[in-house]
Structures are given as structure tokens and as C-alpha cells.
Amino acid sequence: MLIVGELINASRKAIGEAISIQDAEAVKKVAIDQYEAGANFIDVNAGIFVGKESEYLQWLVTTVQEVVDAPCCLDSPDPAAIQAALSVHKGTAMINSISMEKARYDALIPVIAGTDLKVIALCMSDEGMPETAEQRLKIADRLINGLVQNNMKIDNIYVDPLVQPVATNKTFGIEFLKAVEAISTEFKGVHTMCGLSNISYGLPNRKFINQAFAVMAIAKGLDGLIINPLDKRIMANLITAEMLSGRDDYCSNYLRAYRSEKFEF
């Protein structure tokens, strides 16, 4: 399971303020906390700063990597911002994200083609947001083929089937889950990942819904998540779900988590 820590996002008030006053210590602390909680990648987003996104994204990468030995997930649709961030990034970054929307696709392909970068491929096209598993699969097919033709490794592709709120249509949960299963079986070696908050929009007890949904998706083959790793319950659920899905040899991750007190809330 690949965990991307989502907290360093400028649309969160504390982070937005830290970025605007260039408070490196605040950013570093969130990076360290997430890394220690088990994040494999640290997401960085400076999207609210129109005109300064490149500069700030670069600053975030440098700041984060001064204190944690982890790659970043560069969260921007702007190729210029991503390139600025890549120029200072150590290790192999993840790009968040490319999609089948033509403008976004055409802008990002030149940046990632032939590289060893990891990329999140979001199932969205100019025709709008997919609602059924079938629609998602069609977009995933085009995205995966496009990326492979541009010399991206299968193992570096993380398809995000796009989570939509179940509050607005009762089929939105199950159609996503079916898509994860279909992508995992039809495109061997391609990963699937997603964020969770969209699923619970419009409903109470959102964390509870997010956890259950993550567990169900993991059972279908999901192997990446963009989450808040400081949430101990979700992390404990992920570790357990992976074990129950047959992806934890000798239950060793589960037991390691138990011994390091990951199940004490």
C-alpha cells in the first residue's frame, strides 16, 4: 500500500498561511509527522497562489525534503509549477495528476514522457466525470495506453478512478469499487489509488464512511491512498484490510503495526 500524506495543501488554512509567510518550521513539522506516521510520499500543493504557484511549490519541496527522506507528490495541473518543483526534487517524485482532459493531458505529457516519474492518472475527460465503472474503464484504457506509448512504465501508473459522493447517487460507491476491480484485473501491473473525502460529502460521520470505503476498495485491489496519515484509525484499517486481502505475507505488516502501537487509539 502506497500512502500519500495529504496535509501539506494550501487550501487548508494553516498551510496556506504558513506558505504565504514562508514559515518553513510549520511545513517541516507537518512533513515529519506524516512521514513518521507512515506516509511514503508527501503531497505538496500551492494551488491557491495564482501567479506564485511555481515558486511556492518549489519552496515546499525543498522545505519538506530538508527534514524527511521521502519523495514528494507534486499536486498541480500546471506543467510549469511541476517542472519548477522537479528541478529541486530529490528522488523519484509522483505527479498529481494527469487526466484525459485534453488541455491537461497535452500539457503534462511532455513533462513526464520517458521519465521514471510516478503519475496519478485521473479518470476524467472532456466529456465530464464518469459515473459508471464502464465509463471509468474507457478513460483508464485511453490514459494507460497514452502513458505507455509515451514510455512510462506500467508500474509507475496509478489510476485514480475518481470518487464521487454517494449522497448524491446510491450507485457512486459501488461503481467506483467495480472500476477498481476491473482496472486491477484488466491492466495487470497498473496501480489504483484515490483520495477518500469525496465519497462522504453531504453525510454525517464522514470519517467512518471514508474508512469503510477504503477497506472495501482495498479488498477490490486498491493499493494507493491519498489520506491524512495522522488519523490512526484509518491507518489501522488499511493495514488490516491489506492483510485480509491476502497482501501481507505471514501477516508481518499487521504484527509490526501491532508492536509499534498502531492499534492503540
Chosen residue from 14, 80, 154, 203 binding another protein by CB under 8 A: 203
Residue 67 C-beta: closest distance to another protein, Å: 26
Chosen residue from 114, 128, 250, 261 binding another protein by CB under 8 A: 128
Specify the residue, 126 or 134, whose C-beta has the smaller distance to another protein: 126
Name the CA radius of gyration of the chain, rounded: 18
Residue 180 C-beta: closest distance to another protein, Å: 20
Answer yes or no whether residue 78 interacts with another protein by CB under 8 A. yes
Answer yes or no whether residue 87 interacts with another protein by CB under 8 A. no
Answer yes or no whether residue 173 interacts with another protein by CB under 8 A. no
Distance CA 174, CA 188 (A): 21
Specify the residue, 47 or 146, whose C-beta has the smaller distance to another protein: 47
Residue (of 97, 98, 161) closest to 132 by Cα position: 161
Residue 10 C-beta: closest distance to another protein, Å: 8
Between residue 210 and residue 239, which ones bind another protein under the rule CB under 8 A?
none
Chosen residue from 5, 71, 77, 195 binding another protein by CB under 8 A: 77
Answer yes or no whether residue 202 interacts with another protein by CB under 8 A. yes
**Which positions lie near another protein, rule CB under 8 A?**
11, 47-48, 50, 77-78, 101, 103, 124, 126, 128-129, 164-165, 167-168, 201-204
